[in-house]
A and B are shown apart, each in its own frame.
Chain A
Amino acid sequence: MDWGKVAAIFFILMALTSNASFVYGGDPYNLIITVAMSLIATLLKLGSRKTLGAELMATSLVADLHLIPAVVAFFGFGNLSLATGLAIGALVANIISVALITIDTILDTLKEEDEAF
């Protein structure tokens, strides 16, 4: 088992799922967990030189820049609708991020197979 890979996918998926939970339930705990997971996912993508590394980093930054204002809107001004709206934006970015990782993993696998032959 490749634990490094497990950890990386864990944080990226966790950012997506907790984001979806907040959008569905509007629970403040979920929002805080989402922000933390999203920041960790960004850290993991920082400096990535994979084929789609720049795209992955960009989507992660988009998610962060939606979620941090969402926290301010929710806890600072108690504006749930604005926070939810921003969280939906972050959710879209997180979905794209997971899709990109899937594509990148497939590309890498194909490349490795090519090299093996």
Chain B
Amino acid sequence: MAWEHPLFRRTVRAPQGDLFDALARLRPPLILTILLLLTGTLGYMAIDGFPFLDAMYMTVISVATVGFGEVHPLSRAGRIFTMALIMGGFAVFTYSVGVFVEVVARRDLFGLVGLKNMENRIAALCDHYVVVGYTPIARELARVFKRRHVTFVVIEGETGRLRQLKADGVELYIQGDPFHNESYKRAAVEQARGIITTFKNDADNITVAVTGRIFEEQTGRDLFIVSTCSGPEAKARLERVGADYVVSPDSLIGNRIGALALRPPTQGHASILERVAYGEYTELDLREEVLGEQGPLTGKTLRDTDLRRKTGAYVIAIKRGDRKARINPSPDEVLQAGDTLMVIGTPAQLARLEEHLAPATPAEPESAEAGGE
């Protein structure tokens, strides 16, 4: 049983396999070693009047059983003391080796050090996503995020899924209970951009969404919460408890298969549009931009905005209010506040568009043109 001293009981219960728990196991042998050195040194000083350094040297060579000769002649009492010291030293040595091997091998000390380093990296993150649970959907999501260089941290506590996660090369993860506040804190949720939950069980997703909203209240930082759901009823519940966006995997898959059935792509190849939509074609990207009241495009016609020339990105649709999206809009279409523009372009072009739309950013000089891409 691990020797614990409740005087230093943790205010926050550490997760299983914590580095400090493992290191705490090394305390008893270290304390015994110090006590043994203390006893030996004081013993030689008191019994045979050795100077401090000689007494300590004599203690160390006796405990280590290296077999060096005595530094000063020993009295009868001194020899009896040395015998006791050697036996005590052997017992402590055997015990210490056992504990050390147990901590290093069974509790994977080096692995725990690695985990601790990873948690330090996570603590320094900002604007990342926290993916709760490494479900099959989360696994696909991790692939997309990796491909798109989006920073994310997975919270997972199940051994099998953790093994899968490591095998998939997920760099940042928290080994902990996905429904425990402490896990979210360790995933630096206070600095995160959003939380994504993809459990099969709706109750689990609701718990995650509610936890996210509680953290949002505590920190005052907006979290974008995305969840999956099993059906329309669960979707309504999740939206009610605070999920910003709820996706039904069944409905998504149905729609995708329907689209494929209606317009089958070339045998063996996914359509370019589909690859763009799912982030598989990284040289082209689709993005939605909502126009603000004071935005630089608001009130202008699409032609006057000169977006194509300034940024290189291309507006393929405009969605206004509850109306259907206007695909391939006319250049004379006047843009209004609240309009959602669907824009296509390379990542660089879309980045330029974002800069162009940012109200704080000064307008780019007319010479900075990007139409050539």
B335: chain A residues within 8 A (beta carbon) = none
Which of B6, B51, B53 has most chain A Cβ within 10 Å? B6
The answer to whether B12 and A49 touch across the interface, beta carbons within 8 angstroms, is yes
Q: Nearest B residue to A51 by beta-carbon distance?
A: B11
Q: How far is the CB of B13 from chain A (nearest CB, A)?
A: 10
Q: Give the A-binding residues of B (Cβ under 8 A).
A: 3-12, 14, 20, 23-24, 27, 30-31, 34-35, 37-38, 41-42, 45-46, 51-53
The answer to whether B34 and A44 touch across the interface, beta carbons within 8 angstroms, is no
What are 17 sample pairs from A and B whose C-beta atoms fall under 8 A apart? A2-B6, A4-B6, A5-B5, A29-B45, A32-B42, A32-B45, A33-B42, A36-B35, A36-B38, A39-B34, A43-B27, A44-B31, A45-B8, A49-B10, A49-B11, A51-B11, A108-B11
Q: Which of A40, A47, A76 contacts B20 (CB 8 A)?
A: A47
Q: Nearest A residue to B3 by beta-carbon distance?
A: A4
The answer to whether A75 and B8 touch across the interface, beta carbons within 8 angstroms, is no
The answer to whether B20 and A36 touch across the interface, beta carbons within 8 angstroms, is no
Assess whether A28 is interfacial by the CB under 8 Å rule: yes
Q: Nearest B residue to A44 by beta-carbon distance?
A: B5
Q: Nearest B residue to A111 by beta-carbon distance?
A: B11
Interface of A is mostly: helix
Q: Which of A7, A32, A51, A108 contacts B5 (CB 8 A)?
A: A7
Instruction: Evaluate whether A75 and B51 lie within 8 angstroms (CB atoms) in the complex, with A40-B31, A47-B24, A49-B20 already known.
Output: yes
Assess whether A101 is interfacial by the CB under 8 Å rule: yes
Q: Which of A29, A49, A75 contacts B53 (CB 8 A)?
A: A75
- Complex Cα–Cα for A40 and B27 (A): 9
- Complex Cα–Cα for A44 and B300 (A): 70
Q: Which of B8, B46, B53 contacts A50 (CB 8 A)?
A: B8
Instruction: Evaluate whether A46 and B7 lie within 8 angstroms (CB atoms) in the complex, with A29-B45, A75-B52 already known.
Output: no
Q: Nearest A residue to B20 by beta-carbon distance?
A: A47
- Complex Cα–Cα for A49 and B46 (A): 40
The answer to whether A105 and B7 touch across the interface, beta carbons within 8 angstroms, is yes
The answer to whether A4 and B45 touch across the interface, beta carbons within 8 angstroms, is no
- In order of increasing CB-CB distance, the 7 nearest A-B pairs are A47-B20, A8-B5, A36-B38, A75-B52, A8-B7, A48-B8, A4-B5
The answer to whether A8 and B53 touch across the interface, beta carbons within 8 angstroms, is no
The answer to whether B30 and A43 touch across the interface, beta carbons within 8 angstroms, is yes
- Complex Cα–Cα for A8 and B9 (A): 11
Q: Which of A4, A36, A43, A76 contacts B4 (CB 8 A)?
A: A4
